[in-house]
Structure 1
């Protein structure tokens, strides 16, 4: 995937995410000890920063986002509601796309 294609995909997914309603059953939930509201906000901040930076993210935010992708992988199996599962799968896809283009990313 080239940079322009990634930027288009992330922009589209970001707009979809911004229009999505945060699942009611995820408020206050902490599967695997991870606060879902904070996880969502962390990813949102990193993705927004990446888009504002024209597809660039500093190394620290890149690390934070990679940690969030890992956390999303840990919480997804524990989210039982259909709305929450769909919402956080979408968030993980978005975070993974940005993370793969960030400093220190390991693609494999």
Structure 2
């Protein structure tokens, strides 16, 4: 277990990660930008940082990336159409990013 992290929060993030790994990327979001955000890149950035947080504390660079991505997802969610379950997919990404940031903040205390 990672020092200073609640096991239940880490377990939750692990479960969310497993769910994410089994969720297909919404096909109509490939190659799409919404308000200047590349939707594939947003997914990849969040996924990479969340995976890093599962193996140890986030460094400041990844923490900043997650905060930027989290703000982007929050801003974009109302603009995402729900074709192929895209809204739920990006809500799931948002939840993982928020939990990874929370865990990182708890670790910094």
TM-score bracket relative to the smaller structure: 0.7 to 0.9
Q: Greater RCO between the two (CA within 8 Å, min separation 6)?
A: 2
Higher mean C-alpha deviation, range 31-40 or range 75-84: 75-84
Partner of 1:97: 99
Per-residue CA deviation, residues 15-47 of structure 1 (Å, 9 max, x unaligned), is 000000000111111111100100000001100
Say if 1:40 and 1:91, in contact at 8 Å, map to a contact too: yes
Q: Which segments of 5 or more consecutive residues in structure 2 lack a partner in the other structure?
A: none
Instruction: Note the 1:56-95 alignment, pairs <5 A.
Output: 56-82=57-83, 83-95=85-97
Instruction: Note the 1:1-108 alignment, pairs <5 A.
Output: 3-53=6-56, 56-82=57-83, 83-103=85-105
- Provide the TM-score with structure 1 as the length reference: 0.88
Runs of 4+ in 1 over 6 A off after TM superposition: none
Say if 1:57 and 1:103, in contact at 8 Å, map to a contact too: no
Q: Secondary structure at the match of 1:101?
A: helix
- The CA RMSD measured in Å over matched residues stands at 1.7
Q: Which segments of 5 or more consecutive residues in structure 1 lack a partner in the other structure?
A: none
Cα displacement (A) at 1:59: 1.2
- Provide the TM-score with structure 2 as the length reference: 0.87
